[in-house]
Amino acid sequence: MITTIRLIFIAVFTGLCSLLALLFILVDRSFNLYFWLSRFFSGGILWISGIKLKVTGLENFDHIKTYVYVSNHSSQYDIMTMQKSVPNRMSIVFKKELAKIPLFGWQLYLGPYVMIDRSKTDKALKSIESAKKLMKGKKVSILVFAEGTRSKTGEIQEFKRGAFRLASSVGYPIIPVTISGSNKIMPKGTYKLKPGIIHVHFDKPISTENIKSRQDEINLMNQVREVVVKNHQK
């Protein structure tokens, strides 16, 4: 019963914030209001859901600079967790199917986020170009869930190269991010909500300046994954 009530409040709150986001997109093309709202929305969803965040590692990087945040992914709450935790302006790479959701998907599509079509390589490459323009033009960091999809068990899956192709092409450092505990809040394949604590750890930035080849990207991918796995095991 409590879970049902929470989900109803989440749906209503999401709808209201999505409407407000659409308004902000129209009146503020700097997206300052939009990014403020994304943090407010995420904090509200976490509060309604009975979720607390434990954030560590913020001292490891400059909060003003632009980065590619690369994180593991095992729950729908990971996006809200990152939006609330990241100290600077952050965009998200989202799959095109989400854009079809009324209000919520529309504001994703029209907002400062990057839509990706994973079914076609040429369109995926265009998404990378869109991300590059956003990062350089608006000084916005990008969040990528490197596994490509949510883990069913909470264990970290193999990473995909897309995040590292993006990072190497834009030249901004990667910050490995480890999210722990979110799979227990709402695992993939279920809408059962269990309040609890999510731990987010930001590691030190990793340079992408000397990434010149496909093998360099693979080596970078493996290096970042090792950091994420190491922090996940603590």
Instruction: Convert the pLDDT of each residue in 154-170 to its tens digit.
Output: 677 888 877 787 777 77
pTM to 2 decimal places: 0.89
Distance CA 120, CA 210 (A): 28
Domain limits for position 149: 2-232
Q: What is the pLDDT of residue 232?
A: 85
Residue 2 has pLDDT above 80, yes or no: no
Assign 153 a pLDDT band (cuts: 50, 70, 90): low
Q: How many domains does the chain have?
A: 1
Strand pairing of 141-145 and 114-116? unpaired
Distance CA 149, CA 35 (A): 24
Distance CA 147, CA 130 (A): 21
Instruction: Convert the pLDDT of each residue in 105-148 to its tens digit.
Output: 999 889 898 887 766 656 666 777 778 788 888 889 999 888 86
Assign 151 a pLDDT band (cuts: 50, 70, 90): low
Instruction: Convert the pLDDT of each residue in 189-228 to its tens digit.
Output: 677 788 899 999 999 999 988 888 888 889 999 999 999 9
State the angle between helix axes of 121-138 and 162-170 in degrees (0 to 180), rounded to the nearest 10: 40
More confident residue, 164 or 87: 87
Q: What CATH code is carried by the domain that includes residue 170?
A: 3.40.1130.10
Average pLDDT score, the chain: 87
Q: What is the pLDDT of residue 213?
A: 84
Average pLDDT over residues 161-183: 85
Strand pairing of 196-202 and 174-180? antiparallel
Q: What is the pLDDT of residue 122?
A: 63
Task: List C-alpha distances in Å: 91 to 59, 66, 100, 182.
Answer: 21, 11, 19, 20
Average pLDDT over residues 42-64: 96
Q: Which residue has the tokens 């990152």?
A: 82
Q: What is the pLDDT of residue 54?
A: 96
